[in-house]
Structure 1
Amino acid sequence: MTEDDQVNVRDDDELLTIGAFAARARLTAKALRLYDRLGLLAPARVDEASGYRYYRAGQVDRARLVAMLRQLEMPLARIAEVVETGGAEGADLLAAYWAEAEDRFAGRRALAEYLRGRLSGRSSEMYEKFEVEIVDLPEQVIISETRHVLADELPRWIPAALGRLEEAAGACGGTTGAPFVAYHAEVSMESDGPAESCVPVADEAAARAWAAAQGRARGIEVKVEPARRLASTRISKAQVAHPQIIAAFEAVEAWMRREGWTYDGPCREIYFADWDAAGPQDPVCDVAFPVRHTP
């Protein structure tokens, strides 16, 4: 070890009072106490008699890093993970968090633009791009998985649930139609539905045997859905994203009111394309409402 290294070690090991450390880290003593309470930055030593906190000079970089990560509104658990990991791996964790944050902001920006359109009376213009038609569906046997989920959980739960059901369909005579998700109540960031992922299958008896083996813990069910008439509009992969999909649902509802149709069951999203292979403008989903004609 060189003399310069010895000096640096001594400098890093220097114990500072909380006030002196706060000044060096360009933070407040209040912030340091908070970081300690949250488990993000503990003092190097706490005097048992006085309760005074002492920090090592070498903790300054960590203190500043924690402060800057908090400015990104990063959850405390993820801050701890980034700080503890450090290096290139810590940088990758930060990049992953920021990509998620940008996606959330993009969704909020799109929602703000959508709401501006509604508030300024341009709803009808937004609805014009959706072509609505009536589609008749025959009676079908459905295997389904129902769960209470919030809106931000849907992108993970829907493909996972439909994947499980489509795999199970092999033991139920195979699929006989496009998988879909039915919404029995509002799903948003404040309301958790429930939502029901559904796959039509060929063999009712086999489906009931499969469901009995699964039990009801996962919300598994088999039902015979009667023939239905749907008011439906087709949307692209880009339009499935929130809040664009809200406009599609509202466009169908506006069309129903104009044409004299009323609700006859929970609304649904019907997925008919390979999601991974589809481009942003490729049609992948029908937004639909079961309807009956108003007398």
Structure 2
Amino acid sequence: MDTTGLLTIGVFARRSWLSPRALRLYEQQGVLAPALVDERTGYRWYRPAQLEHARLVARLRRLDMPLARIAEIVATGAEDPQAAVALLDKYWTDEEYRVAARRELVGHLRIRLLGEEGLLEMYDIEVRDVPEQVVLTEQRHVYVQDLPAWIDEAIGRLLKLARGHGDGMAGPCFIIYHGEVNEDSDGPVEICLPVRPDPARAIEAATRVEPAHREAYTRITKAQVAFPQILSAYDAVRQWTEREGVLPSASPREVYFADFGAAGPDDLVCDVAQPIE
């Protein structure tokens, strides 16, 4: 077995900033394979040219990136560097959202520990009049763990229907919670998409008229939408209505006025609203 010009695993580990244990793990995961393996002893050798590859892996690991994602980026980068950069950007965008959501969760937990003290100082509550709207609607009993997937699917169906009727979407989509939604309670939840129907064409979907009403609301970011931290916004609106002595007139809801998928974690995307008398 000719090992001329190859580096032992110990030397390669030192020069690549990776431990021998990490190198063996990366080999098992298909991230970084040695150039030569002694079938009798299991000893490994690497080419000097693999050092840059190994250092890239080491840097990606410093981002706490899963090995499967690293393998995908490294393999893609060998063929299409721009596509690899796009994968890296997507990973970091997701990480920034997770960090922002966790930051908001800390704020939610602080409120819980303090017994809602200072809740209204954290959220600006405003009041507005909402006109009568014709809406396409879909309703379902759903637990919180299944809620995001169902919302995405249902909105997709309603948007497709809206494009086939009249002027299409006539206002921001909103989600009404007719009952508690958490790990133990399943609502029901209703998704509503305002439309301007064409009188000459029948709408082959469930529709209803959402009455005109007044509502108190607070505007929140994409990170604040995550459960359970969004509950703090609901609690702030509820606390405001109690302080002002106004009564709810209908179920609470979330109004999504921005492109949620394209928004950054700190972008305003949603109003948590409570119709009031």
Task: Give me the TM-score of the superposition, normalised by structure 2.
Answer: 0.65
Corresponding position: 1:42 with 2:33: yes
Q: Does 1:168 align with 2:161?
A: yes
Distance 1:194 1:48, change over 3 A: farther
Corresponding residue of 2:175: 181
Which residue, 18, 40, 50 being the options, matches 1:27?
18
Q: How does 1:1-295 map to 2 (within 5 A)?
A: 14-84=5-75, 85=77, 89=82, 90-91=84-85, 93-113=87-107, 115-116=109-110, 119-120=113-114, 121-127=117-123, 129-132=124-127, 140-144=134-138, 162=155, 165-174=158-167, 178-183=172-177, 186=181, 197-201=191-195, 202=197, 206-207=202-203, 209=204, 211=205, 222-224=206-208, 227=211, 231-233=215-217, 235=219, 239-243=220-224, 246-258=231-243, 259=245, 261=247, 264-265=250-251, 267-271=252-256, 286-289=271-274
Shift of 1:23: 3.1
**Higher Rg of the two aligned structures:** 1
**TM-superposed deviation, 1:186:** 4.2
Distance across 1 between alignment mates of 2:162 and 2:105: 37
% identical equivalent positions: 42
Query: Residue deviations 1:215-272, cap 9 Å, x none?
Result: xxxxxxx25367586643153xxx333227654322222234443646854x322346
C-alpha root-mean-square deviation of aligned residues, in Å? 4.7
In the aligned structure 2, how far is the partner of 1:149 from the partner of 1:101? 22
Q: Do the aligned residues in 2 keep the contact of 1:141 with 1:223 (CA within 8 Å)? A: yes
> Which whole-Å CA distance do the structure 1 matches of 2:132 and 2:122 have between them?
32
**Pairwise CA distance, 1:18:** 2.5
Conservation of the 8 A alpha-carbon contact between 1:142 and 1:224? yes
Tell me which amino acid in the other structure corresponds to 1:130.
Answer: I
How far off its partner does 1:22 sit? 2.2
C-alpha change, 1:31 and 1:193, in structure 2 (3 Å) is farther
Secondary structure at the counterpart of residue 206 of structure 1: coil
Q: Which amino acid aligns with 1:37?
A: Q
Between the aligned partners of 1:140 and 1:152, the Cα distance in structure 2 is 24
Question: TM-score, length-normalised on structure 1?
Answer: 0.62
Pairwise CA distance, 1:36: 0.9
The alpha-carbon distance between structure 1 residues 151 and 141, as it changes in their structure 2 partners (threshold 3 A), is: closer
1:168 Cα shift?
2.4
Unpaired runs of 5+ in structure 1?
1-10, 212-221
Distance in 2, Cα, partners of 1:15 & 1:53: 10
CA distance in 2, matches of 1:66, 1:192: 44
Q: Per-residue deviation at 1:69?
A: 0.8
Counterpart CA distance in 2 for 1:112 and 1:32 is 37
Q: CA deviation at 1:130?
A: 0.7
Query: Cα 1:19–1:241, aligned 2, differ >3 Å: closer, same or farther?
Result: same
Q: Secondary structure at the match of 1:74?
A: coil
Aligned-partner residue type, residue 125 of structure 2: F
Matching residue's letter, 1:255: W
Q: Does the 8 Å contact 1:144/1:198 carry over to 2?
A: yes
For each residue in 1:110-153, what CA deviation from the matched residue of structure 2 results, as whole angstroms up to 9, or x when unmatched?
Answer: 443454456453223224x21246x6775845234878886996
